[in-house]
Structure 1
Amino acid sequence: MAVLQLVVGALLLVVLVAGLLNYFGNRTEHAWYVSLIAFISWFFPFSIVVLVPVDLSSTLFRGCKAEEECNEPFMYVSSEFLVAAWRTLYWSSFALTWVMIPLLQAYTQSGEFTVMRKFRSAVRYNLIYQLIIGTIALIGLVGVIYVQGTSNLRAYVMALSNSWGLVLVVIFMGYGMVDVPRRLWHKGDNSRELRRISFKASVVKDKRQDTEDEVHAVAKELSVVCHRVQLSDPLRPFIDQMVENSPAVRGIQFESSRTASPNSASHSNNRGDLSGAGMTLGGSRTTVSAGSGGRKHATDGAVPAIITEKYLADLHARIKRALRMSDRWNA
């Protein structure tokens, strides 16, 4: 068996996948486990490019008759190795697709503040999703059994699985073989390309403005929470963690509007309106003018009267989602 060739091919795949992840990803912002799962998820599909030619050449060589002149392939492997490789590739991809990657996505998007609570939230979210999918699949299976019976059930399920894969192949190959050359052809027409970019620019601008508004909204809400929760409150570490983990939100400032008390109305008329002091996220110092009857933030209505850990987790998740969408449309 060509062990050296397989090792060299695997090392080349490792270098290729690592280079692509380094080019398209951002190691400074992603946790190490995210990069690891992404690397494994990319490595297995790329390994098919090497494994399929090896499988075909090795199978043809083993089927060669004795009287025929057959040369051993450059990367010949045994049938046992191929079976083990394909099973490892299939079940690893299956586990990544339906278990690991959904759990990791829900874990990173969770607004909880501890590892165990994030994990429980991710498991609960995926269990709900899997139960919905499982219920639909069970209903479909019952329908198949009712129509076809149980004699050819396994073959029918395999045919459905292969049909799903073939449909995806046809869709994506058709898109790549038709749309990509068409796009390249249209790029040769400068006026048409300029009109397309102008139309797309307006859409991107609207999306970007919406995401910026959402970021400002959650930033103001977090500022109100920072102001209302005292430093001695047990929930204060969670708020500090949100502020620390969201540097883009932390830098947003806004003017806090205030309502004057009746006793200071005449005083305000004589001296003029006093502007509200700007408050930065995470700051504990606010300036109050003499005679001010208190503060009323524009986002006070979005903050509940009693701030709980559940509300803070929801706010943290909304901050993550707003920043993620902002990064997407500002890229």
Structure 2
Amino acid sequence: MAVPVGSSIFYASSLVVIALLVLLLLRYYLPLRTTPAYILVPVFLAVALPANLIILVPIDLASNPADNGRPHGIWLPDRALLVAWRISYWLTFALTWLLLPIIGEYVDSGDREPKDKLLYSLRSNGRYHLTVIGAGILGAVYFIIAEGFNFVSLKALVMALAYAWGLILAIYLMGHGLVAVPRRVMRDADTGRRLKKLQSQAPKAYENLMDASDELQSYEQQVDQLKQRQHGGTAKNYSEWINELTDLTSIPESRISIGATLPTSRGAVPQVITPRYLADLTRKLKRARHRQLRYDAEWQDLLTSVIRAQAILDAKPSGRLVFPDSRGYISPIIRFHLHTNVLPVVSYIGAGILSLASVSIIWSELTKYFIPGISLVRVTIIPTSAERVSFFPSQIFAAFWITYMCVCALYSITVLPIWGNRALVYRTTYLESATWYSGQVAKLTVPLAYNFLTFLPKSVRTNTMFYRFLGELVDLTPLGRNFDGFFPILLLIPVLAALFGLYGRIQKAFGFGDWLSEDDEQDQWREGKVLIDRELRERGSHRLGLGLTDSPSRGSFDTDRRALLPAASNRTPIASSRPTRPARSERTRLVSALGDEEEPEGNFFGNFAHRVRNTIDSVERPGWLPDFTSGGRRQASGDEDGNWDWGRVFGGRQTEGRVRL
């Protein structure tokens, strides 16, 4: 077969473009100059190699000979495809299951010496790897008894286990993303709805920032005490280590010099200082510092988004839009029409296209095994009468479907609140978080790419090099045989849960069901509105026109503003004390100053319910009548705001409806 010069140039150019885009993505989340190479290179490969599959799968589909003996579209020889698949798959496999977990724990370690960091990483990953190895040994015993011992069966077992676990996670995350992504685009198209959503998120975002600042402050107080004792006792043996800890904090030198200490809520410094204690304190300090930077960045982004959304609404009478941070690239009139007329229409059209794509994928997942001929994804790539991909637009559609499936799964990862301290933050992402997120990208892309192949006819799927490399080994085992045909039907569970808000209902029943819920808390938008306006008013920024005046009620919101710092800063001072949070009854009296003219737009029954609730909350109840709705005394079975906690009925602790793994 002749060498496809044009296709080879196209594929090489695509790899260069992918590499540049990945570098730009890493530069957005990580400082490239200061990030060590042993972290940057694996993270780059863990993102670039899966992105390569978006181009490699369509090329593989078109590389089968057509009727005239020559492929059409972009194609490559079988040998080149086999080498590309081997490099992409096995490097991705090694990064996902071995290198990235070890590197992540290595950078998260608080030890100073590389040897100690490596030992900590191996110990931290020991249970995980022992579990994986144990499952592999059990599977190997089964295959040796059933099939006999041979290398092909052993390799098939390893690939089938990795594929099965990746597909289980990918299908669930993709199912939620198929609903959440179009809904997010559609909701953001309405400026008023977007503003209300941001205001509803403000109380939780601000509370997270205050909690993170308190946590960071407690560890900085321990470092402060260590600094004062570093010239005496066992601490003098670790003077250099203590100085390094001091460099990580924002403790004023004047406070250290006068010997002023504050009591810490997370344990006092022990009398005997050991390397284990210092390593543990270093690790906790690094985590707390990045957690504070994360929530500070979220708070700053929320304030910026609120200012821009309110500016768009305020510009409607004048027809001229000027953002506080805008530059003179376009005129205010053009900017106004762009944000009020053009972008909302584009968002609605995009939401419609994405919704149609989501319906097509869900329908194809449900029918590909029973009635494959009516698969919508299959029709866009291969006509009913065709038996192979021989048209360049079909490759474009294939790349689109794989990209959209991966985007939906990865979007769900970013909105999950169950990953603990892991988050992606602009230019300040914690290195352990970067390795973890890149590992998830590598773990999910290969199963989703092969799952996409199952939408196509068997005659087309089995002729691809991807199937001959991975599919045959997956189908060789009972674990993989027909697994991809039946299991994706469970896609309906996350789809229905996200579509009908089942997570929120579970939360109300048990107190821990909002893992993937994006529904805004309707009772928090007023509190967030007041909180944001007060924050911007104290900074002398754009006013949101709430019509509030200083009153005694507002005093309950006063906090130490040193906990807030612009996101561009690398070192954030923290509050000297935790801010007081007002009771719900006080918040209700405060937000009642907004008046009926600030009532959110909605249907008659929603507005009527809000007015009835506000009326009931303002009535003074007798002392013998329990208050289950708004404020009052703390109830024996409720939380500190008087809310009834149904989780206690089932024997659970009072929580915020979140489970952290």
TM-score range, shorter chain: 0.7 to 0.9
Q: Which residue of 2 aligns with 1:328?
A: 294
1:150 aligns with 2:139: no
Q: Which residue of 2 aligns with 1:57?
A: 62
Offset from partner CA, 1:154-181 (integer Å, 9 cap, x none): 5888766555444444333333332211
Cα–Cα, structure 1 residues 158 and 127, in superposed 2: closer, same or farther, change >3 Å?
closer
Conserved 8 A contact 1:216-1:252: no
Conserved 8 A contact 2:19-2:48: yes
Equivalent residue letter for 1:241: E
Match of 1:242 among 237, 245, 249: 245
Q: Which residue of 1 aligns with 2:398?
A: none
Q: Distance in 2 between matches of 1:307 and 1:322?
A: 21
Map 1:113-124; keep pairs closer than 5 Å. Answer: 113-124=112-123
Residue ranges of structure 1 left out of the alignment (5+ in a row): 255-277, 288-294
Conserved 8 A contact 2:229-2:236: no
Using the size of structure 1 for normalisation, the TM-score is: 0.74
Match of 2:31 among 5, 9, 26: 26
Q: Distance in 2 between matches of 1:40 and 1:107?
A: 18
Q: Distance in 2 between matches of 1:157 and 1:133?
A: 10
Structure 2 counterpart SS, 1:20: helix
1:303 aligns with 2:269: yes
Q: Distance in 2 between matches of 1:112 and 1:243?
A: 15
Cα–Cα, structure 1 residues 166 and 131, in superposed 2: closer, same or farther, change >3 Å?
closer
Q: Distance in 2 between matches of 1:158 and 1:110?
A: 31
Conserved 8 A contact 1:110-1:121: yes
Q: Which residue of 1 aligns with 2:458?
A: none
Structure 2 counterpart SS, 1:27: coil
Equivalent residue letter for 1:49: I
Cα–Cα, structure 1 residues 160 and 130, in superposed 2: closer, same or farther, change >3 Å?
closer
Conserved 8 A contact 1:221-1:303: yes
Q: Which residue of 2 aligns with 1:267?
A: none
Which deviates the most, 85-94 or 115-124?
A: 115-124
Conserved 8 A contact 2:102-2:122: yes
Offset from partner CA, 1:127-182 (integer Å, 9 cap, x none): 2321134335556x49x949xx7259958887665554444443333333322112
Structure with greater contact order relative to length (CA < 8 Å, sep ≥ 6): 2
Equivalent residue letter for 1:171: Y
Residue ranges of structure 2 left out of the alignment (5+ in a row): 298-661
Match of 2:11 among 6, 18, 22: 6
1:92 aligns with 2:91: yes
Cα–Cα, structure 1 residues 229 and 157, in superposed 2: closer, same or farther, change >3 Å?
closer
Q: Which residue of 1 aligns with 2:528?
A: none
Q: Distance in 2 between matches of 1:239 and 1:52?
A: 53
Equivalent residue letter for 1:221: Q
Equivalent residue letter for 2:209: R
Q: Distance in 1 between matches of 2:73 and 2:186?
A: 40
Deviation at 1:83, TM superposition (A): 1.4
Q: Distance in 1 between matches of 2:158 and 2:33?
A: 44
Conserved 8 A contact 2:221-2:261: no
Equivalent residue letter for 1:279: R
Which deviates the most, 161-170 or 218-227?
A: 161-170
Which deviates the most, 68-77 or 122-131?
A: 68-77
Conserved 8 A contact 1:57-1:73: yes
Q: Which residue of 2 aligns with 1:279?
A: 255
Deviation at 1:297, TM superposition (A): 5.0
Cα–Cα, structure 1 residues 164 and 111, in superposed 2: closer, same or farther, change >3 Å?
closer
Deviation at 1:305, TM superposition (A): 0.7
Q: Distance in 2 between matches of 1:252 and 1:163?
A: 50
Name the one with the larger helix percent. 1
Deviation at 1:84, TM superposition (A): 1.7
Structure 1 counterpart SS, 2:76: coil
State the aligned residue count: 284
Deviation at 1:33, TM superposition (A): 2.6
Deviation at 1:209, TM superposition (A): 0.7
Offset from partner CA, 1:48-105 (integer Å, 9 cap, x none): 01111221111x22xx3xxx43554454322122112111111101110111111111
Cα–Cα, structure 1 residues 225 and 162, in superposed 2: closer, same or farther, change >3 Å?
closer
Q: Which residue of 2 aligns with 1:258?
A: none
Q: Which residue of 2 aligns with 1:211?
A: 212
Q: Which residue of 1 aligns with 2:76?
A: 77
Q: Percent identity?
A: 28
Deviation at 1:29, TM superposition (A): 5.0
Q: Which residue of 2 aligns with 1:268?
A: none
Conserved 8 A contact 1:224-1:299: no
Conserved 8 A contact 2:230-2:239: yes
How large is the RMSD of aligned CA atoms in angstroms? 3.2
